Structure 1
Amino acid sequence: MSTAGNPRILMCPPDHFGIEYEINPWMSIQQGSDPERAAGQWRALERTLEDLGVAIDLMTPEKGLPDLVFTANAGLVYRDTFIASRFRFGVRQGETPHFEAWGRARGFEVLTPPEGMNFEGAGDALFCGETLFAGYRFRSDVRSHHWVGERLGVEVLPMELVDPRYYHLDTCFCPLEAGVAVYYPGAFDDYGRAVIRGRIPTLIEVRAEEAQSFSCNAVVVGRTVVLNQGAPALAADLQRLGYATRTLELSEFIKSGGSAKCLTLRVDGEEAAAWKAAGSAASP
């Protein structure tokens, strides 16, 4: 269901967002989050994307599902197919029926991985060109990635994540266009680093201190990259390659282990990434 014209992104307002459990090293119930500040940061991201020409679809927030706001984990969109996530942790499994219903309402063919497989959508599966790069270990598993590749008829390259702070692929890897990507080498094992270096000609390596600010968890709209503040070296590297940057404060969501990319899902398909979307280029 690729759409013509501007990119389309799914977001979910943070009406019920909060840290109600701990399923990654960033989450602390004791620390919690500030609801008013989170709402302001989410609205700033929404306004920034709209200013860049993105059409926003909205999910309805649901009480008791605080992480529904992280729509990147809804599943993976590919052409007319939506593969819904099958979450590893029980506290998030209640999100899947809502995402499946959204996909059906949008007219997608909705598929869900079989029981016994874990797959957390665009959090762990990102296209760079025609190849699907897939992270596994902490949330998704290798079998689910192979299943997705077979259903979609695409090449899948599974890579093991080794640092629990970077539990999803989108926390440490960000495709910019075919053959170009940002990544944090320390999140991958030797094989994963070799796969990325061997298959993607132009790479920006993120420094460890900037990776911790979730700088890889960015949204690409044409030649503009929207990312959390606190990564001046990455911003400079992007600008040297001809990309504009928009930096935002997303601290309340980082407390839960997510940033700009986690808060978004490409409705027009992850494979129709920004470099393929007509009219999506924008200047700062």
Structure 2
Amino acid sequence: MFAGEVTLPLAANDDSPAVRHRLLLCAPEYFAVDYVINPWMAGHVHDTDPARATSQWQALQAQLAAHAEVDLLAPAPGLPDLVFTANAGLVQGNTFVPSRFRHAERRGEEPLCIDWFRRAGYRIRPLPEPLHFEGAGDALFDRGQRRLLWMGHGHRSDAAVAPELERMLDVDVVPLRLVDARFYHLDTCFCPLRDGRLLYYPAAFDEIAQSRIASRIPAHMRIAVEEADALAFACNAVDLDDAIVLNRASPALRQALAAWGYRTVETPLDEFLKSGGAAKCLTLRLDE
């Protein structure tokens, strides 16, 4: 029901009208846990419910579509993780830096994502071999006024990618080492919010990374979540104006976000948690 081509809009340029938010999703027609490449997958091989995954994804899509233009990447058989579009690559304006996956199980996604962005009019800028990089799963733009990119490494992406992205995109890149295998991508434990604020789980990072975060974002602009919220992937959230869309948040976290003017939109994504992903993993921003 999800197969087939979609009309690809041209990438934004200086002459095109501004779009406030634009997101790329991929329907879960072939989503499954067919292998283990992160701790969340262990014990869930061949244990997903396709109907439940579809229902949850459609609910997420509806919530996002209320705040953003949603484009679709066509799903493909044999690529169960293609649904996690955040890992397709990194978008900055009309530039697309494609991912180069560490695990062989996901490398088949690379040409499909490159083809989508090429046909949509983006400039494709691959990283030099043999660097591993997993896109907007590990590279998140600060949402303040700074030209700053936060880059996670240690599990999936190589630290040596940071200077390459700095050169290619003309931004300051802050490398952050991830040390907890449950939080294998930066976007599982770190969510930049508007006005330079931050939602994150400090224990996912080494001491140097924690110091780098604290030196750039003052304490009153950071929400450090408890482990229970982190394990519910509360930091794997999509920030859309006054709404923040996520799997689940504790009452204390909802209250803290409300103090910053956010309306927390919870949409259950437990089927995707079996594969180690939630709202942000299922979403790639095209409006950076």
Work out whether the TM-score is over 0.5.
yes
Match of 2:127 in 1: 113
For the 8 Å contact 2:192–2:199, the answer to whether it is kept is: yes
Measured after TM superposition, the shift of residue 79 of structure 1 is: 1.2
Give the Å deviation of 1:256: 0.3
How far residue 31 of structure 1 moved from its aligned partner, in angstroms, is 6.1
What does residue 68 of structure 1 align with? 82
More relative contact order, 1 or 2 (CA 8 Å, 6+ apart): 1
Contact 1:65 1:95 in 2 (8 A): yes
Given the alignment, which residue of 30, 34, 42 partners 2:49? 34
Matched residues in 2 for 1:255 and 1:30: separation? 9
Alpha-carbon distance, 1:5 to partner: 2.8
What is residue 235 of structure 1 aligned with on the other side? 254
Q: Is the 8 A contact 2:27 2:72 kept in 1?
A: yes
Gapped runs of 5+ residues in structure 2?
Answer: 1-10
Deviates further, 224-233 or 167-176: 224-233
Q: Percent identity among equivalent residues?
A: 49
Q: Distance in 1 between matches of 2:200 and 2:217?
A: 11
For structure 1, the residue ranges without an aligned partner over 5 or more in a row are 270-284
1:36-185 correspondence to structure 2 within 5 Å: 36-52=51-67, 54-128=68-142, 129=144, 130-185=147-202
Distance 1:262 1:231 in 2: 20
- After superposition, give the CA deviation of every residue in 1:103-149 in whole Å (9 maximum; x if it has no partner): 11111100111221000000000011321000001000111122111
More helix by share: 1
One-letter identity of the residue aligned with 1:258 = G
Distance in 1 between residues matched to 2:252 and 2:167, nearest whole Å: 39
**Residues in 1 aligned to 2:109 and 2:89: alpha-carbon distance in whole angstroms:** 11
Check conservation: 2:188, 2:277, Cα contact below 8 A.
yes
Q: Which residue number corresponds to residue 5 of structure 1?
A: 19
Q: Does 1:268 align with 2:287?
A: yes
- The alignment of Structure 1 onto Structure 2 pairs a total of residues equal to 268
TM-score by length of 2: 0.90
Task: Name the Cα RMSD after superposition.
Answer: 1.2
Distance 2:46 2:203 in 1: 27
**Are the equivalent residues in 1 in contact too, given 2:34–2:45 (CA < 8 A)?**
no
CA contact (8 A) 2:97 2:127 kept: yes
4+ runs deviating over 4 angstroms: none
